[in-house]
């Protein structure tokens, strides 16, 4: 059977003439054909992440493969394609946010931005006329400058994915990009957005174009009219990705805001994840409500983790939450909880069906479960210090790290993208992770995001980001937020370590 | 609206918190994983013969069942074989063969009736309706049936015009079909090709325009291209993702456990101990075995636990660590022997024997949780080619159950002894398994289900099946 040869299909090379797959290949590639048996290296456990790694003379050797999302050997260049106002920048920003959140260093490069910095003042659509030589020259230069920065990011700055956000509507322009990628050893994946629905386009323009720096000094009608003419400039030379002519390229064509997708030659894991993500997002207006369970018995004692029930105040919060949700008058609200008693008790007060997710459970503090910070400092001062040094990556002994949490929460994020109105009743660390996704917070900021008890965060997607409303339901609760102390050294005094521990019983 | 909050009680088996009173909420199967299917879904295959419909049907069904979505395949060809006494030739499929057409239509309707039974009486969640369904008329019948009954419909069309793929298909699964039992190879192939021709005359693929309101995925040429239209819900989205990740390139998957560990020797479960001397020997033997296998571009995966990593180290090649491959978390029972568990948690021990798949250790996990955690591993295994997975007993049981289509009842008792490599090679509609014991002695860690699983049993009865240890 002539299948696409393994090296062609799954390792990024463009499929050419399929090589018959031999039963046993003796080419000394990554195979194990001619590796002599070696003595197993000694292992040591990295104290921060609790990862076992090989060591030499007591020191860890490098090159340890952690299963993060994609062990891409080559960086990936995602290239958007489409007329103006088709959602390219929306997709670029959202995708970038998602990839960064799951741990894939990603950055977007918006050519329009380069143009604005170069041209300083936007006069009118005439700049984009296909017969405007001056304009064309500038636009080509901007694209080159952007690609240069892409190269820098992917080869020197540790980036794994770059999103090249521009119209890229001609085959010629795309060819230039493909050549650039080939020269540099990048894989290319095109994301084309095709849409002819005038209502959608109109809404796009209203949401994100009118507020653009290009139109700061125009009134609405002028801006819309100019923008429509701008689109027209591109229309004549627009060459959509073609099923036949572009059959060797890797791409997804999104049609009519996600009614239909055409997916061609997905080459690897990261492209597969990108396709899955793009096929799950939508732009139907909705709100996501995030909150923690009501105050719990262990909360008031200053103990972390565990599976305790609500205090009286916690129950009060649950009632107030019910009132709040009723007042919001939300159509078809889904309610999700973890499998821990305190979130479920909170949801019970709402008297609606709710879905329990084990992956929404609070971070597992391993050997420190149900301890107070004072006790952790007492029994595990080294651990306590390491955690303050790198709270995102720090893994509790026999427990989890924030980094682990993000991996475990990814299906929740995916389903949140699919859903519309959802209330998620969860826990402090979990809520921080989810919030970081929606608000594009870094790994450094994430573990210190403020998620107090008895406060609901209402997130509403708007333009390219997310509007946040914080609603405190006015039921007192203990504070559980511990700031990073000044001294994070292992050698610090107990008092220094416990300086920022919030008050408790 | 009631002001009193219902008391929560913790289900002793799965450790899930449920409201005490019987209610609409607790009638849900006390599930420890989110249930995303409300209406039953019919997946309807579309395509000419030898386009991989049955392959996809079976594989998809296996995957959905494994992740906990009760699914069943209804193969209309099977109904036809049961209805007609024996298959004579392709003439049966000629579009002008009125008699045969009647039979074929009747078979489809019988199959639909069984679909209805499955959804209504057996509480199935998904059905895969495996037939050519190549005419708009036939698809209309199915859509009407689904509409009447409130089922969602999702079409999966397989389009392929590569003659080599089709020839290989015929060779792999048609020649051995009951239809061709008494034919020689050339006859069978010739007949089958004529059979395909019969369908071609009336084949109307899903139309991008006319069928734009239907939900479907079109798979072109074994996955080089996909067209996806109107995905309605979570389960359809998962199905699309799965279908876009599977491939048919020949390859093998090697599953094994870490070498024997220190805690294994002591009969203790869980923990994060290192390899025993024999375990280290196994690691070298594994290295030798894999070198012998001479695999091109082998990926090696381990968990984050010391014993699997030590094992991989002996291979001298790059490996990837997956936290998701960690052994099942035994919670409060971590590092205990079965004797100790019986002593300190006799009720837990009995509950586990009563339903080993759904039983969750206090502050730990269940096999059911493991499956959810392993789903991304399976997805990536589907994408990859040659992979060696060095993992743990419970984990290996879950992975094996996926490849060999084992039920939730069988899964926790699958035999995965130490120092034994299972080589899985996809073939036809299933998976060939070769079990290779690498000849290094190791302790047995397999505990069979004892006869008496009642909470009030004697300790001796509980411990009857515990394997020997130090």
pLDDT in tens, A205-261: 988 888 888 998 888 888 999 999 999 999 999 999 999 999 999 999 999 999 999
B203, B337: one domain: no
Catalytic residue IDs of A:
293, 362
Mean pLDDT for all residues in chain B: 93
C-alpha R_g of chain A? 26
Tokens standing for residue A452: 């107090």
What integer pLDDT is reported at residue A47 of this predicted model? 87
E strand intervals along A17-126: 42-45, 52-56, 59-60, 65-66, 76-81, 106-110
Which chain B residues are within 8 Å of A2, Cβ to Cβ? 162, 164-165, 168
Answer whether residue B354 is part of any domain.
yes
B282, B419: one domain: yes
∠ CA B106-B53-B110, nearest 5°, is 15
Tokens standing for residue A328: 């919001």
B298, B221: one domain: no
B236, B348: one domain: no
Answer whether residue B383 is part of any domain.
yes
What integer pLDDT is reported at residue A207 of this predicted model? 86
B412, B286: one domain: yes
Residue B274 has pLDDT above 60, yes or no: yes
Q: What does the H/E/C string look like for B231-287?
A: CCCHHHHHHHHHHHHCCCCCCCEEEEECCCEHHHHCCECCCCCCECHHHHHHHHHHH
Q: Which of B195, B217, B244 is the last residue of a domain?
A: B244
Beta-carbon contacts below 8 Å between A and B: 213
B208, B283: one domain: no
∠ CA B385-B386-B388, nearest 5°, is 130
Tokens standing for residue B323: 């936290």
What integer pLDDT is reported at residue B1 of this predicted model? 39
Say if the Cβ atoms of A345 and B280 lie within 8 Å: no
The closest alpha carbon to B413, from B400, B431, B426, belongs to: B400
Distance between CA atoms of residues A353 and B139, nearest Å:
36
Residue B421 has pLDDT above 60, yes or no: yes
Percentage of residues in chain B having pLDDT higher than 70: 95
- B150 phi-psi bin (left φ>0, alpha ψ -120 to 50, beta other): left
* DSSP codes, B75-96: EHHHHHHHHSS----GGGG-TT
B169, B71: one domain: yes
Q: In Å, how far is A308's CA from the nearest CA of chain B?
A: 12
* DSSP codes, B310-373: HHHHTTTS--EE-GGGSPP--GGGTT-BHHHHHHH-HHHHHHHHH-TTT---TTS--HHHHHHH
3-state secondary structure of B44: strand
Residue B428 has pLDDT above 60, yes or no: yes
Question: Of the candidates A1, A263, A336, which has its C-beta nearest B228's C-beta?
Answer: A263
Beta-carbon count within 10 A of A266 CB:
26
What integer pLDDT is reported at residue B19 of this predicted model? 84
Which chain B residues are within 8 Å of A269, Cβ to Cβ? 380, 383
Task: Tokens 């998809």: give the residue.
Answer: B60
What integer pLDDT is reported at residue A452 of this predicted model? 97
- Choose the mutation target among B2, B11, B17 for the interface with A, i.e. most A CBs under 10 Å: B17
What integer pLDDT is reported at residue A58 of this predicted model? 61
Q: Per the structure, how many domains does chain B have?
A: 2
Q: Enumerate the H helices of A188-311 as residue ranges.
A: 198-204, 220-235, 269-280, 297-300
Answer whether residue B2 is part of any domain.
no
B170, B279: one domain: no
Q: Which of B202, B220, B244 is the last residue of a domain?
A: B244
pLDDT tens by residue, B187-246: 899 999 999 999 999 999 999 999 999 999 999 999 999 999 999 999 999 999 999 999
Question: Of the candidates A27, A33, A52, which has its C-beta nearest B306's C-beta?
Answer: A52
Q: Which of B244, B277, B297 is the last residue of a domain?
A: B244
CB B9 within 8 A of CB B17: yes
- Choose the mutation target among A26, A46, A48, A358 for the interface with B, i.e. most B CBs under 10 Å: A358
Distance between CA atoms of residues B130 and B76, nearest Å:
6
The DSSP bridge partners found for residue B299 are B387
Distance between CA atoms of residues B29 and B14, nearest Å:
11
Taking only residues 53 to 72 of chain A, the set having a beta carbon closer than 8 angstroms to any beta carbon of chain B reads: 54, 63-67, 71
Answer whether residue B261 is part of any domain.
yes
What integer pLDDT is reported at residue A420 of this predicted model? 96
Residue A335 backbone dihedrals phi, psi, to 5 degrees:
-120, 130
Which chain A residues are within 8 Å of B276, Cβ to Cβ? none
CATH number, domain of B442, equals 3.40.50.1240
Strands B225-229 and A334-337: unpaired
The more confidently predicted of residues B365 and A36 is: B365
Q: Enumerate the H helices of A373-457 as residue ranges.
A: 373-379, 381-389, 402-418, 428-439
What integer pLDDT is reported at residue B6 of this predicted model? 74
Answer whether residue B407 is part of any domain.
yes
What integer pLDDT is reported at residue A65 of this predicted model? 52
Answer whether residue B59 is part of any domain.
yes
B210, B68: one domain: yes
Answer whether residue B442 is part of any domain.
yes
Which chain B residues are within 8 Å of A11, Cβ to Cβ? 297
Say if the Cβ atoms of A32 and B290 lie within 8 Å: yes
Tokens standing for residue B50: 């030898």
Domains and CATH numbers, chain A: 76-279 (3.40.50.300), 288-498 (3.40.50.1240)
B203, B352: one domain: no
Answer whether residue B264 is part of any domain.
yes
B325, B282: one domain: yes
What integer pLDDT is reported at residue B54 of this predicted model? 96
What integer pLDDT is reported at residue A21 of this predicted model? 32
With CA atoms as reference, the chain A residue closest to B292 would be: A33
Q: Extract the residue ranges of chain A whose pLDDT is less than 70.
A: 1-40, 57-72
What would the mean pLDDT of B26-32 be, rounded to a whole number?
Answer: 46
CATH number, domain of B52, equals 3.40.50.300
B76, B164: one domain: yes
Is the dihedral angle over the CA atoms B303, B308, B314, B315 positive or is it negative?
negative
H or E element at residue A112: helix A111-119
What integer pLDDT is reported at residue A12 of this predicted model? 33
Tokens standing for residue B455: 């909470």
Sheet holding B253-257, edge to edge: A65-66, B320-321, B299-302, B387-391, B253-257, B420-427, B430-437
pLDDT tens by residue, B3-21: 455 788 888 898 989 887 6
Range of the domain at B435: 253-463
Q: Exposed (0-12), middle (13-18) or buried (19+): which is B123, by Cβ within 10 Å?
A: exposed
Question: Of the candidates B172, B288, B321, which has its C-beta nearest A66's C-beta?
Answer: B321
Distance between CA atoms of residues A186 and A176, nearest Å:
13
What integer pLDDT is reported at residue B37 of this predicted model? 62
Question: Of the candidates B280, B369, B385, which has its C-beta nearest A6's C-beta?
Answer: B385
Residue B279 backbone dihedrals phi, psi, to 5 degrees:
-60, -40
Strands B253-257 and B387-391: parallel
């Amino acid at each position: 059977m002539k299948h696409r040869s393994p090296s062609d299909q799954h390792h990024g090379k463009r499929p050419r003439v399929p090589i018959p797959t031999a039963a046993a290949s003796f080419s000394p590639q990554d195979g194990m054909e001619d590796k002599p048996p070696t003595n197993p290296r000694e292992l040591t456990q990295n104290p921060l992440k609790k990862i076992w790694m090989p060591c030499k003379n007591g020191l860890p050797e490098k090159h340890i493969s952690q299963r993060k999302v994609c062990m891409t050997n080559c960086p990936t260049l995602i290239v958007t394609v489409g007329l103006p106002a088709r959602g390219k920048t929306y997709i670029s920003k959202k995708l970038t946010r998602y990839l960064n959140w799951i741990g894939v260093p990603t950055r977007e490069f918006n050519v329009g931005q380069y143009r604005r910095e170069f041209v300083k003042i936007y006069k009118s659509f005439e700049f984009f006329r296909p017969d405007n030589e001056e304009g064309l020259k500038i636009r080509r230069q901007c694209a080159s400058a952007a690609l240069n920065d892409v190269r820098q990011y992917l080869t020197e700055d540790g980036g794994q994915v770059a999103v090249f956000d521009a119209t890229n509507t001609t085959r010629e322009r795309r060819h230039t990009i493909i050549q650039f990628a080939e020269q540099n050893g990048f894989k290319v994946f095109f994301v084309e957005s095709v849409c002819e629905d005038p209502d959608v386009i109109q809404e796009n323009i209203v949401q994100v174009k009118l507020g653009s720096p290009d139109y700061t000094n125009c009134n609405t009608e002028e801006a819309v009219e100019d923008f429509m003419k701008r689109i027209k400039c591109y229309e004549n030379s627009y060459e959509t990705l073609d099923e036949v002519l572009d059959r060797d390229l890797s791409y997804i064509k999104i049609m009519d805001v996600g009614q239909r997708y055409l997916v061609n030659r997905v080459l690897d894991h990261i492209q597969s994840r990108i396709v899955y993500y793009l096929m799950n997002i939508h732009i139907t207006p909705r709100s996501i409500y995030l909150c923690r369970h009501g105050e719990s018995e262990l909360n008031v004692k200053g103990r972390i983790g565990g599976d305790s029930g609500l205090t009286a105040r916690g129950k009060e919060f649950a009632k107030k939450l019910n009132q709040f949700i009723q007042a919001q008058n939300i159509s078809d609200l889904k309610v999700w909880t973890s499998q821990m008693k305190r979130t479920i008790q909170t949801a019970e007060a709402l008297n609606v069906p709710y879905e329990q997710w084990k992956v929404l459970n609070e971070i597992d503090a391993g050997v420190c479960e149900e301890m107070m910070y004072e006790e952790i400092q007492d029994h595990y001062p080294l651990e306590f210090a390491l955690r303050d040094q790198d709270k995102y990556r720090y893994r509790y002994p026999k427990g989890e790290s924030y980094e682990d949490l993000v991996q475990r929460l990814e299906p929740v994020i995916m389903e949140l993208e699919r859903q519309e109105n959802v209330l998620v009743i969860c826990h402090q660390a979990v809520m921080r992770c989810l919030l970081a996704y929606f608000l594009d917070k870094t790994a450094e900021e994430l573990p210190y995001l403020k998620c107090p008890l008895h406060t609901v965060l209402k997130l509403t997607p708007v333009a390219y980001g997310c509007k946040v409303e914080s609603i405190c339901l006015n039921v007192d609760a203990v504070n559980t937020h511990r700031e990073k102390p000044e001294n994070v050294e292992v050698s610090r005094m107990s008092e220094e370590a416990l300086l920022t521990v919030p008050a408790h019983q | 609206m009631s002001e009193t909050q219902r008391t929560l009680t913790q289900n002793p088996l799965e450790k899930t918190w449920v409201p005490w009173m019987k209610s609409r909420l607790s009638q849900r199967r006390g599930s420890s994983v989110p249930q995303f299917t409300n209406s039953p879904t019919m997946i309807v295959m579309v395509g000419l013969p030898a386009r991989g419909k049955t392959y996809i049907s079976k594989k998809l069904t296996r995957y959905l069942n494994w992740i906990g979505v009760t699914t069943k395949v209804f193969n209309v060809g099977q109904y036809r074989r049961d209805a007609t006494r024996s298959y004579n030739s392709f003439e049966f499929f000629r579009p002008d063969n009125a008699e045969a057409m009647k039979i074929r239509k009747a078979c489809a309707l019988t199959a639909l009736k069984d679909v209805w039974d499955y959804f209504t009486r057996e509480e199935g969640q998904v059905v895969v309706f495996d037939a050519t369904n190549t005419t708009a008329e036939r698809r209309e019948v199915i859509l009407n049936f689904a509409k009447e009954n409130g089922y969602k419909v999702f079409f999966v069309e397989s389009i392929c015009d590569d003659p080599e793929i089709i020839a290989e298909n015929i060779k792999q699964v048609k020649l051995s079909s009951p239809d061709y039992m008494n034919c020689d190879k050339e006859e069978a192939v010739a007949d089958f090709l004529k059979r395909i021709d019969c369908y071609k005359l009336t084949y109307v693929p899903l139309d991008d325009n006319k069928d734009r309101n239907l939900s479907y995925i079109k798979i072109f040429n074994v996955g080089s291209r996909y067209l996806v239209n109107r995905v309605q819900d979570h389960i359809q989205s998962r199905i699309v993702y799965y279908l876009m990740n599977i491939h048919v390139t020949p390859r093998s998957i090697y599953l094994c456990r870490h070498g024997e560990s220190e805690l294994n020797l002591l009969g203790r479960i869980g923990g994060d101990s290192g390899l025993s001397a024999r375990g280290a020997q196994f690691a070298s033997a594994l290295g030798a075995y894999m070198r012998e296998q001479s695999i091109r571009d082998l990926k090696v995966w381990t968990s984050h636990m010391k014993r699997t990593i030590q094992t991989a180290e002996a291979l001298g090649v790059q490996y990837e660590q997956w936290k998701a491959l960690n052994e099942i978390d035994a919670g409060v029972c971590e590092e205990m022997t079965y004797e100790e568990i019986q002593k300190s948690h006799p009720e837990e021990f009995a509950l586990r024997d009563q339903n080993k798949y759904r039983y969750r250790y206090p502050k730990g996990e269940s096999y059911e949780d493991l499956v959810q955690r392993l789903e991304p591993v399976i997805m990536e295994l589907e994408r990859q080619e040659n992979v060696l997975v060095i993992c743990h007993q419970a984990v290996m049981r879950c992975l094996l159950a996926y490849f060999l289509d084992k039920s939730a009842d069988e899964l926790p008792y699958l035999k995965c002894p130490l120092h034994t490599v299972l080589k899985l090679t996809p073939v036809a509609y299933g998976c060939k398994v070769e079990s290779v014991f690498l000849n290094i002695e190791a302790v047995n860690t397999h505990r069979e289900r004892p006869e008496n699983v009642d909470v009030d049993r004697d300790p001796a009865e509980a411990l009857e099946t515990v394997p020997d240890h130090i």
